[in-house]
Chains A and B, each alone.
Chain A
Amino acid sequence: MSYQILPYRFERIKENVFLSNEVGEHLYLTSDDFNKFIEHRLEPEEKTFKDLKSKQIIADSHLDDVIEMLAIKYRTKKNFLTESTSLHMIVASLRCNSNCSYCQVSKKDLSDVSFDMTKKTAKKVVEKIFDSPSSNIKIEFQGGEPLLNFEIIKYIIDKAEWTNIFKKKNLEFVICTNLTSIDEKMLKWLKGHKVYISTSIDGPKELHNLNRPLHDIENSYDLVTEKIKLCREYLGRDSVSALMTTTSHTINHFKEIIDKYIELEFDSVFLRSLNPYGFAKRDKHILAYPMNDFIENYKKGLDYIIEINKQGKFFAEGYATILLTRILTPFSTGFVDLQSPAGIAIAGVIYDYDGDVYVSDEGRMLASVGDKKFKIGNVEVNSYQEIFNSAYLHELIENSIAESLPDCATCSYQSYCGADPVRNYSEQGDIIGNRTISEICNKNKSIIKYLLSLLQKNDNEINKVFWSWITRKSF
């Protein structure tokens, strides 16, 4: 039979073959059917022929039309590129009142305001942000503990809102904070602006306090949970979300952590592995764990969350939601770590307290241990063009395209995954990296594979749960 085979990637999984194409369409064939398919022996009446045609993996006529349909889907999948750059992180202060076991970036001297961003720098930062062509702008305050420099947060929000009267972008703000120093006065001010709170809860009291003690108080847990309530009162029920970071102390306790999130009335949790940066890297022997341990616990945690949802409670896992959106929908996702080309500087960018600009938060963390590889400029010295259109940034991005990276290029999960040059560099010393020894590749592949195996069951109950996460709706 004469048909053309369009670009696809595949992987043998037990007796079946998993096929996917550039836009994430996928299906499974038996080995026999796969052989017939590649040997051009499929007949148009066969279901397999029709299924492959429906997913635009083969075409027997109207090739131009089929390619045009693929092109439309491809543009949709890569839509984040037309929204560059939308996530702008600002380090309001490097000072921090917290003493988290896995953090290295913050300065512990609470009185040393030389690590605060100044108005002069902040003004330049806002100008740069609004030079971005993206129609969606999210400004995320980081630290240190950004609330320790609340004046600069207010200044930036005010200035951004003024600027936006003319720029008319979809503008929102997020403050990433340990919340311990938030008070009613701050909340009264924040209430009038489009501000969301992103905080950290590492689990039940003992676990949380083990990972995230304050300088002066061991029990940060009680303080944070009380402040979460206060934020919800002022800013609304959905204004607060939380993240967790897994350490060796917490890796075997995902179930308790999940239960705690539900008890605290969050509707999702993000089961996040430790990043190999900063203190976490230095104290690796104490805090780290083999990636495979994380993966196994993640799967169990995910199973547990799915069961909770099956009982009728909406509660999502963040990482799975992003991956499922990439696997099952034609849309692009905003998550910076899973993009190709990599999201560095074009999906998200970070402005340090001193005006230095880094391609990502992880790039900034590397700088704090002395390696400024991922610095792309300074807001006070460089123009927007110089920062975001430099030959250097081009080079970084050109080397961070999964479609052409070794191993990624042929990986059947490529369209669900992304390139992470900063992570490669940090783990292996070069931005391209070797996938066979890459922890992040192992993690992403394992989780994607697990999600695909759950989808392959075609279990209506599981599908329902997954779609409710993707659409953020309970059915």
Chain B
Amino acid sequence: MKQLKGKAYNLNEVIIGKITSKNDLFATKKDLIYVTNNGDFPNGYLAVITSNKDINKGTSRYIENVENIFELHDNDIVTVDPDGKISIVYDINSKHNAIFITERCNSNCIMCPQPPVKQEEDKLNLNLKYISLIDKNAKSIGITGGEPTLIGEKLFDILNAIYNRIPKASINLLSNGIKFENYEYAKRFAQAVKQEIVVDIPLYSDIDTIHNSIVRTNSFYKTIKGMYNLAKFNIKIGIRVVIHKMNYDRLPELSEFIYSNFPFVYHVAFMQMEPMGYAKDNLTDLWIDPVDYNKELEEAVINLHYRDMQVSIYNTQLCLLPEKLRRFAVQSISDWKNIYIDECNNCSKKQECPGFFASSKTVHSKHIKSFNNVENN
């Protein structure tokens, strides 16, 4: 997520609050963080963020000398660390807002862009506070990690809080599905869900050994059992397939496997790898130029499309895709890390193109080529 940096005063723990730039006398200020470019310093706010420095406001809580404060908008939600790091956890202008449940994970994927941690502080209260601040008109919210189900029953508290705050929003939960192998957990999860939800689960191969060597745990059949359990309770399931050298060659077989075993899935997404974290560390084992798996990708996408399944291609630049696949490409990269490279400057399709991960700036296909008004096939 997008982060700003300043110098914090009188801050002993992480706080979370909603941004406002208007000093409204009648507002409940204890959850609001006031942002200012001027010298004003109203009282009663959770904190004040300012671009000024050396403002000396005694025991008040404030963060000064913050650069780029124009990046903060009214109704954004931010966390502030005692060391002055401001993280925009909820960007009012973004469609990709998520609640980050935990950094722990029970998988250890070879291409994980955000490698898991072993220990962390409990995030539950902070997240419940976060949910209570979310814009009431929000149409969607993600739940992500790490592996969100690792907090067990507390995940149901999160679901409950979301329902109380934004009952009409649709939830997108990213999970590896392993925990749902437990029928009782799946059942209690389904009972806790009271609004639209899609649980997106990664399945990297139709062959257990290949999937397991990617997630680096012995979990293929656990994930499958998890999907069946969720399906029993009519929870919508999406399947996510990150493509790299270890699994691209069986994408057509995987598409048939998905249809014949999980015809109930709501959506299947084929995703270009984000070259960050472990993916970057293991790049030589994983990297294949996306153009070089187009044949397999095309067969898989068309297979599912013919079978009346909803299918998308995430994170993939339009110029790399054969023409008949471009309609499946989705602008899926979170705004704050979504970039375009120099070659894109003159491209006539830039507006509709998913573009790149920030981390793809140096690691990307050799075949990026801007569309001009004359079609380049």
- Residues of A whose CB lies within 8 Å of any CB of B are 23, 25, 44, 50-51, 53-54, 61-62, 65, 68-69, 72-73, 76, 329-331, 460, 463-464, 467-468, 471, 473, 475
Query: 6 A-B residue contacts at CB 8 Å?
Result: A50-B206, A54-B253, A61-B208, A73-B260, A330-B259, A473-B308
Chain B interfacial residues counted at CB < 8 A: 21
A76–B308 Cα distance when bound, in Å, is 18
B302 in complex: contacting residue of A25, A73, A460, A471, CB < 8 Å: A460
Q: B336 contacts the other chain (Cβ, under 8 Å)?
A: no
A331–B307 Cα distance when bound, in Å, is 12
Known contacts A50-B250, A54-B253, A471-B307; A330/B206 CB under 8 A: no
B221 in complex: contacting residue of A53, A54, A65, A329, CB < 8 Å: A65
A62–B308 Cα distance when bound, in Å, is 31
Q: B322 contacts the other chain (Cβ, under 8 Å)?
A: no
Q: B5 contacts the other chain (Cβ, under 8 Å)?
A: no
Could you tell me the distance in whole angstroms from the C-beta of B209 to the nearest C-beta in chain A?
7
A330–B209 Cα distance when bound, in Å, is 24
Q: A467-B306, A471-B306 are in contact. List 4 more A-B contacts (CB 8 A).
A: A50-B250, A54-B250, A54-B257, A475-B306
Could you tell me the distance in whole angstroms from the C-beta of A25 to the nearest C-beta in chain B?
6
Residues of B within 8 A of A76 (CB): 263
Residues of A within 8 A of B259 (CB): 329-330
A69–B263 Cα distance when bound, in Å, is 13
Q: Closest 8 interchain pairs by CB? A: A467-B306, A65-B221, A471-B308, A54-B206, A330-B260, A62-B221, A50-B207, A330-B263
A23–B221 Cα distance when bound, in Å, is 20
Beta-carbon contact of A69 and B261 below 8 Å: yes
User: What 0/1 pattern do residues 174 to 214 of B give for CB contact below 8 A with A?
Assistant: 00000000000000000000000000000000111100000
Q: B224 contacts the other chain (Cβ, under 8 Å)?
A: yes
Q: B267 contacts the other chain (Cβ, under 8 Å)?
A: no
Residues of B within 8 A of A463 (CB): 306
User: What 0/1 pattern do residues 299 to 326 of B give for CB contact below 8 A with A?
Assistant: 0001001111000000000000000000
Beta-carbon contact of A69 and B224 below 8 Å: yes
Could you tell me the distance in whole angstroms from the C-beta of B177 to the nearest C-beta in chain A?
14
Beta-carbon contact of B308 and A73 below 8 Å: no
A463–B302 Cα distance when bound, in Å, is 10
Could you tell me the distance in whole angstroms from the C-beta of B261 to the nearest C-beta in chain A?
6
Beta-carbon contact of B257 and A475 below 8 Å: no
Beta-carbon contact of B224 and A54 below 8 Å: no
Residues of A within 8 A of B306 (CB): 463-464, 467-468, 471, 475
A23–B261 Cα distance when bound, in Å, is 11
Residues of A within 8 A of B308 (CB): 467, 471, 473
Beta-carbon contact of A53 and B207 below 8 Å: yes
Could you tell me the distance in whole angstroms from the C-beta of B245 to the nearest C-beta in chain A?
15
**B206 and chain A: residue at smallest CB distance:** A54
Beta-carbon contact of A475 and B207 below 8 Å: no
A44–B213 Cα distance when bound, in Å, is 14
**B257 and chain A: residue at smallest CB distance:** A54
B253 in complex: contacting residue of A44, A50, A473, CB < 8 Å: A50
**B210 and chain A: residue at smallest CB distance:** A50
Residues of B within 8 A of A61 (CB): 208
Could you tell me the distance in whole angstroms from the C-beta of B218 to the nearest C-beta in chain A?
9
Q: B349 contacts the other chain (Cβ, under 8 Å)?
A: no
Beta-carbon contact of B302 and A331 below 8 Å: no
Residues of B within 8 A of A331 (CB): 263
Beta-carbon contact of B225 and A44 below 8 Å: no
B307 in complex: contacting residue of A50, A51, A69, A467, CB < 8 Å: A467
Q: B228 contacts the other chain (Cβ, under 8 Å)?
A: yes
A198–B270 Cα distance when bound, in Å, is 43
**B259 and chain A: residue at smallest CB distance:** A330
**A468 and chain B: residue at smallest CB distance:** B306
A72–B228 Cα distance when bound, in Å, is 9
**A62 and chain B: residue at smallest CB distance:** B221
A51–B206 Cα distance when bound, in Å, is 9
Beta-carbon contact of B261 and A73 below 8 Å: yes
Residues of A within 8 A of B257 (CB): 54
Beta-carbon contact of B305 and A475 below 8 Å: yes
A54 in complex: contacting residue of B207, B228, B302, B305, CB < 8 Å: B207
A86–B367 Cα distance when bound, in Å, is 56
A54–B228 Cα distance when bound, in Å, is 17
Residues of A within 8 A of B302 (CB): 460
Residues of A within 8 A of B305 (CB): 475
A104–B129 Cα distance when bound, in Å, is 78
Could you tell me the distance in whole angstroms from the C-beta of A107 to the nearest C-beta in chain B?
46
Residues of A within 8 A of B253 (CB): 50-51, 54
Could you tell me the distance in whole angstroms from the C-beta of A231 to the nearest C-beta in chain B?
29
Indicate the member of B256, B261, B305 with the most A CB atoms within 10 Å.
B261
CB under 8 Å from chain A, chain B span 202-259: 206-209, 221, 224-225, 228, 250, 253, 256-257, 259
Could you tell me the distance in whole angstroms from the C-beta of B279 to the nearest C-beta in chain A?
24
Beta-carbon contact of A25 and B221 below 8 Å: no
Residues of B within 8 A of A72 (CB): 228, 261
A13–B224 Cα distance when bound, in Å, is 35
A54–B257 Cα distance when bound, in Å, is 7
Beta-carbon contact of B260 and A65 below 8 Å: no
**B324 and chain A: residue at smallest CB distance:** A460
Indicate the member of B209, B260, B263 with the most A CB atoms within 10 Å.
B260
**A472 and chain B: residue at smallest CB distance:** B308
Residues of B within 8 A of A50 (CB): 206-207, 250, 253
Known contacts A50-B250, A54-B257, A473-B308; A65/B225 CB under 8 A: yes
User: What 0/1 pattern do residues 261 to 273 of B give for CB contact below 8 A with A?
Assistant: 1010000000000
**A51 and chain B: residue at smallest CB distance:** B253
Beta-carbon contact of A62 and B208 below 8 Å: yes
A331–B306 Cα distance when bound, in Å, is 15
**A44 and chain B: residue at smallest CB distance:** B209
Could you tell me the distance in whole angstroms from the C-beta of A47 to the nearest C-beta in chain B?
9
Could you tell me the distance in whole angstroms from the C-beta of A6 to the nearest C-beta in chain B?
15
User: What 0/1 pattern do residues 258 to 294 of B give for CB contact below 8 A with A?
Assistant: 0111010000000000000000000000000000000
Indicate the member of A50, A53, A73, A329 with the most B CB atoms within 10 Å.
A50
A473–B221 Cα distance when bound, in Å, is 34
Could you tell me the distance in whole angstroms from the C-beta of A329 to the nearest C-beta in chain B?
7
Residues of B within 8 A of A330 (CB): 259-261, 263
A76–B231 Cα distance when bound, in Å, is 13
Could you tell me the distance in whole angstroms from the C-beta of A212 to the nearest C-beta in chain B?
37
Could you tell me the distance in whole angstroms from the C-beta of B305 to the nearest C-beta in chain A?
7
